[in-house]
């Protein structure tokens, strides 16, 4: 398929000041259509609104998936794409889970690369910033029966982004959620599908109303084993060993999670992917053997957890400060992304 490029005749004003997350979008977007048999009409075009039938199935039954990746520009002017192939693989897995068509990864990768290069002057260069890349696929058939749509749109929007949490690297507070669940065995928790996020909002709002930043999810059956956080996977350091919940289908297989495990192991840390019992974490906090908790995600990168609430009690982690392992891993991961450190795992594609 050919990729058509239609350049915008106008340029939007770029943001000045704090970028925040997900608020600004560049001048162009990538889009292509699935006509029932094949992807067609692929183009980079000016960023614009979509025109959809109000009966489109994504709007009724949430047949939609998305991804989040980042491109970095460093002081040398290099543009560095971090593990985009892994995001596109996961997107195809998510699409297949929702009976949506998959796409040619190489074609979409190249299209994103071109999009990023066209809007290159939007990529921020300050520490902690990047161009956030949001590939999205939605079902567009105007039909109200509950069945897989015949037609789809796939598009990619990009925009400059800073810290995901308002306070940047300041430790966040999480509330362990024992009532609502995010995902259960056999559900869609292990895929990046839009409905997962709608279902998670109530717990997030209730946590915020109680003074926490996000909910920490437990397993759906026992409400005892930690799963993940709103937009992050989660790690616990107890007695010198790093624990993270094993992927058993209800947790999103985070690309940052995978990267952090590889980095930690390369430094000789013991990393265990297993059940993480929240009662044991609370006990460790009381005994003083809980050293650190941190979240990992593309948007949040590494987010230290300074405290968690569980059964009416608040447990402070590492005196409410970012721990040494979190700091080291943040420095190393962002160093690889920006080119300060050698990319020894081959995660970065320098596209310019
Ligand atoms: N868990 C959820 C629910 C997420 O939305 C994300 C963000 O994408 C993650 C975990 C972290 O995944 P990744 O590291 O691939 O960004
Ligand atoms: C990301 O980390 O890229 C995400 O997509 C998280 C998000 C839901 C904001």
pLDDT at 330: 95
Q: What is the mean pLDDT of residues 66-93?
A: 97
Q: Looking at the structure, tell me whether residues 114 and 189 fall in a common domain.
A: no
pLDDT at 67: 98
Q: How far is the CA of 55 from the centre of ligand 1 (A)?
A: 30
Residue 230 has a pLDDT of: 87
Same domain, 111 and 63: yes
Q: Answer whether residue 166 shows pLDDT above 80.
A: no
The answer to whether residue 192 is domain-embedded is yes
Report residue 164's pLDDT band, with 50, 70 and 90 as the boundaries: confident
Under a CB-based contact definition with an 8 Å cutoff, are residues 235 and 260 in contact? Answer: yes
The residue contributing the CA closest to ligand 1 atom 11 is: 297
| Residue 288: per-residue pLDDT | 97
Residues 292, 314, single domain; the answer is: yes
Q: Determine if the pTM surpasses 0.85.
A: yes
What pLDDT, in 10s, does the model give residues 104-113? 999 999 999 9
Which CATH number fits the domain that encloses residue 240?
3.20.10.10
92 and 179, same domain (yes or no) = no
What is the spatial distance between Cα 221 and Cα 227, in angstroms, rounded to a whole number? 12
What tens digit of pLDDT does each residue of 122-163 get? 999 999 999 999 999 999 999 999 999 999 999 999 999 998
Kindly tell me the burial class for residue 297, based on how many C-beta atoms sit within 10 Å of its own C-beta (0-12, 13-18, 19 or more).
buried
| Structural domains of the chain, count | 2
Residue 65 near ligand 2, beta carbon < 6 Å: no
CATH number for position 86: 3.30.470.10
Among 119, 139, 161, residue at a domain's last position = 161
**Contact between 111 and 44 (Cβ < 8 Å):** yes
- Clarify whether residues 146 and 179 are in a common domain: no
Same-domain status, 177 and 301: yes
Token readout for 10 is 């106008």
Which residue, of 135, 161, 187, is where some domain finishes?
161
User: Does 47 share its domain with 135?
Assistant: yes
Residues 146, 189 within the same domain: no
Give, in degrees to the nearest 5, the angle at Cα 181 between 253 and 242: 45
Burial class (CB in 10 A: 0-12, 13-18, 19+), 4: exposed
The answer to the question of residue 79 being in a domain is yes
Which atom from ligand 2 is nearest to the alpha carbon of 164?
A: 9
Choice from 82, 164, 256 to test ligand 2 binding pocket (greatest atom count within 8 A of CB): 164
List the domain range (segments joined by +) for residue 287: 172-338
What pLDDT is recorded for position 157?
Answer: 98
Last residue of a domain, one of 117, 141, 161: 161
Model confidence band, residue 312 (pLDDT cutoffs 50, 70, 90) = very high
Pairing of strands 28-34, 152-161: antiparallel
Which pLDDT value is given to residue 163? 83
Q: Tell the residue nearest (CA) to atom 4 of ligand 1.
A: 231
Which tens digits make up the pLDDT trace of 130-141? Answer: 999 999 999 999
- Ligand in closest contact with the CA of 229: 1
Tens-digit pLDDT profile for residues 248-306: 999 999 999 999 999 999 999 999 999 999 999 999 999 999 999 999 999 989 999 99
Is there a single domain that holds both residue 186 and residue 72? no
Do residues 6 and 45 lie in contact, with contact meaning Cβ atoms separated by under 8 Å?
A: yes
Counting ligands in written order, which one lies closest to the CA of residue 87? 1
Q: Is residue 350 part of a domain?
A: no
User: Mean pLDDT in the chain?
Assistant: 97
Which of 266, 333, 344 shows the shortest CA–CA distance to 300?
333
Q: What gap in Å lies between CA 254 and CA 60, rounded to an integer? A: 27
Ligand 2 contacts CB of residue 254 (under 6 A): no
User: Is the Cβ atom of 298 under 6 angstroms away from ligand 1?
Assistant: yes
H helical segments located in the chain: 57-61, 84-97, 105-118, 194-209, 255-266, 278-287, 324-338
In a domain, residue 166? The reply is no
HSE on the CB side for 342, CA within 13 Å?
A: 2
Q: Yes or no: say if 204 and 230 are a contact pair by the CB < 8 Å rule.
A: yes
Domain check: are 26 and 121 in the same one? yes
């Amino acid at each position: 398929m050919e990729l058509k490029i239609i350049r915008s005749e106008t340029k939007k004003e770029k943001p000045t000041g704090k970028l925040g997350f997900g608020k600004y979008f560049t001048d162009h977007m990538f889009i292509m259509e699935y006509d029932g048999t094949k992807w067609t009409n692929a183009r980079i075009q000016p960023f614009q609104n979509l025109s959809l039938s109000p009966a489109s199935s994504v709007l009724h039954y949430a047949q939609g998936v998305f991804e989040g990746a980042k491109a970095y520009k460093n002081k040398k002017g290099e543009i560095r794409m971090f593990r985009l192939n892994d995001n596109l693989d996961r997107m195809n897995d998510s699409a297949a889970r929702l009976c949506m068509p998959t796409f040619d990864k190489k074609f979409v990768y190249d299209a994103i690369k071109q999009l990023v290069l066209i809007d290159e002057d939007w990529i921020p260069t300050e520490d902690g910033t990047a161009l956030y890349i949001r590939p999205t696929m939605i079902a567009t058939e105007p039909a109200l029966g509950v069945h897989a749509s015949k037609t789809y749109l796939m598009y990619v929007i990009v925009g400059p982004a800073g810290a995901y949490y308002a306070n940047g690297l300041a430790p966040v507070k999480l509330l362990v959620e024992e009532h609502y669940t995010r995902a259960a065995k056999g559900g869609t928790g292990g895929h990046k599908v839009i409905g997962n996020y709608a279902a998670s909002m109530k717990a997030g709002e209730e946590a915020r109303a109680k003074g926490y930043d996000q909910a920490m999810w437990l397993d759906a059956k026992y409400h005892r084993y930690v799963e993940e956080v709103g937009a992050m996977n989660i790690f616990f350091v107890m007695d010198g060993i790093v624990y993270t919940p094993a992927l058993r289908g209800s947790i999103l297989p985070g690309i940052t999670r995978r990267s952090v495990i590889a980095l930690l192991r390369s430094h000789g840390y013991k990393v265990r992917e297993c059940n993480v019992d929240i009662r044991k974490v609370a006990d460790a906090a009381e005994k003083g053997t809980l050293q650190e908790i941190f979240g990992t995600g593309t948007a949040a990168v590494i987010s230290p957890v300074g405290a968690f609430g569980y059964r009416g009690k608040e447990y402070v982690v590492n005196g409410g400060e970012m721990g040494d392992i979190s700091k080291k891993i943040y420095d190393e991961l962002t160093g690889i992304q920006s080119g300060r450190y050698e990319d020894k795992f081959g995660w970065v594609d320098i596209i310019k």
